[in-house]
Amino acid sequence: MSSDQESDSNPDILPFVRRPLARTPPHSGVTESRSPLRLGLLAGAGEFPIRFARGAREAGHYVYALGIGGMASADLAQDCDEFRYAPLARIGKAIRLFRKANVQRIVMAGKIEKTVLFHPFRWLRLMPDWRTLHMWYRYARENKKDDTLLLAVIREFERDGFVFDSALKYCPELLVKHGFLTQRRPSAAQWKDIRFGWDLAREMGRLDIGQTVVVNDTAVIAVEAIEGTDRCIRRAGELCRRGGFTVVKVAKPQQDMRFDVPTIGIETIKTMHESGGKVLAIESGMTIIISPEDVAELADKFGISIVAVNADELALMAAA
């Protein structure tokens, strides 16, 4: 039996159906930015899918979520109208479920662990369906960069008429604003490291390698690749035993806001503290911050400086 014909009783995709939240009543004084929609959520790991689902439902939208098996948090179910787990390599199954649910738009949120593509016997582990194989060989043959793979997924869904939106269209408040997020400010030497690391991180993004560069005393300690930000920071801690390094995380110059938007949260700060990092520089208006008040409070406790800046500002500082 093909994966697209599997019964919905499959334990990997058992549904969680939640009572709808009370929607915002007419004339309540709350401005609705758009009419309520049936939104499909493709959810990976982390807190971002939960925050998106919560914000979208509070805005009046219906959220039907497919959590990637082995990655999406079980806690996501509590913030969706309907929730199912779906295997990573079953795009045909996901398309069928979204069509059955009559979703009008789809969003991606959360981290997809790309390392699963490099496990031994990956095809036996993943058991891809026909639509996944079509996507892989039609749209992702040239390379396996993040943008290539995620755009390939979108293009396969688009063959069935689905439209993808940025999750931030529905929860723009998650984007970090410009300025200092903590009491501690970078020193002059640390500002020099921020400026030094910024252009390098942008270039790594342009090449679609990663979003994060770790710098100390204008030397590159670590560059993020497939392992992700936290493991990049841990590696920097192993290589820079004295600590005090600066983490620079920026969006790609060609950033598609529908996926892979730079994201930080509590775990980022914990990892920096454990590894010896002292400054986190992020791009204002282009970086998602989960629980900003909690992040700032923990950073202050650990003596870590967080600053949200932009390229123009750094260029002016360098010219001054």
Q: Are residues 20 and 161 in the same domain?
A: yes
148 and 283 housed in the same domain: no
First to last CA, the chain: 67
Q: DSSP string covering 199-233, please?
A: HHHHHHHHTTS-SEEEEETTEEEEE--TT-HHHHH
CA distance 31 to 201: 38
Mention every residue, 6+ apart, whose C-beta is less than 8 A from residue 282. Answer: 176, 249, 250, 262, 264, 289, 306, 307, 308, 309
Q: Report the percent of the chain where pLDDT is more than 70.
A: 88
Q: Which of 123, 150, 169 is the last residue of a domain?
A: 169
Contact 269, 304 (CB under 8 A): yes
Helices 146-158 and 91-100 cross at an angle (nearest 10°) of: 50
Query: Are residues 155 and 244 both part of a single domain?
Result: no
Q: Find the helix packing angle between 146-158 and 130-139, rounded to 10°.
A: 120
Of 107-121, 164-178, 231-245, which gets the smallest average pLDDT?
107-121
14 and 151 share a domain?
yes
Q: 């969003």: which residue's tokens? A: 107
Report pLDDT for 28: 31
Angstrom distance (rounded) from CA 218 to CA 196: 6
Same domain, 288 and 213: yes
pLDDT digits (tens, 9 = 90+) for 101-113: 999 999 999 998 8
* Shared-domain flag, residues 79 and 227: no
> Based on the domain organization, do 154 and 212 belong to the same domain?
no
Q: How many CB atoms lie within 10 A of CB 121?
A: 7
What would the pLDDT profile of 36-81 be if each residue is shown by its tens digit?
Answer: 999 999 999 999 999 999 999 999 999 999 999 989 999 999 999 9
Query: Are 31 and 165 contained in the same domain?
Result: yes
- CATH code of 165's domain: 3.40.50.20
Same domain, 67 and 150: yes
List, in order, residues 6 or more apart from 288 with CB less than 8 Å away.
Answer: 48, 168, 174, 175, 176, 261, 262, 263, 264
Task: Find the domain containing 104 and state its range.
Answer: 3-169
The domain total for the chain is 2
* Selection from 84, 158, 161, 94 nearest residue 128 by Cα: 94
The answer to whether 215 and 244 have CB atoms below 8 angstroms apart is no
Does 163 lie in the same domain as 180? no
pLDDT band at 276 (very low <50, low <70, confident <90, very high): very high
Average confidence score pLDDT of the chain: 88
- Which of 122, 152, 169 finishes a domain? 169
Element of type H or E holding 50: helix 48-58
User: Do the Cβ atoms of 280 and 289 come closer than 8 Å?
Assistant: no
Using a pLDDT cut of 90, give the percent of the chain over it. Answer: 80
Q: Are residues 131 and 188 in the same domain?
A: no
Banded model confidence at residue 122, pLDDT cuts 50, 70, 90: confident
Instruction: Give the residue-averaged pLDDT of 220-245.
Output: 96
Please state whether beta strands 179-180 and 105-109 pair in parallel, antiparallel, or not at all (unpaired).
unpaired
**Which one of 118, 135, 169 terminates a domain?**
169
Place of tokens 């293009």: 155
Same domain membership, residue 223 and residue 92: no
Q: What CATH number does residue 262 fall under?
A: 3.40.140.80
CB-based burial, 277-292: b 16+ in 10 Å, e otherwise = bbbbbbbeebbbbbeb
pTM for the full predicted model:
0.84
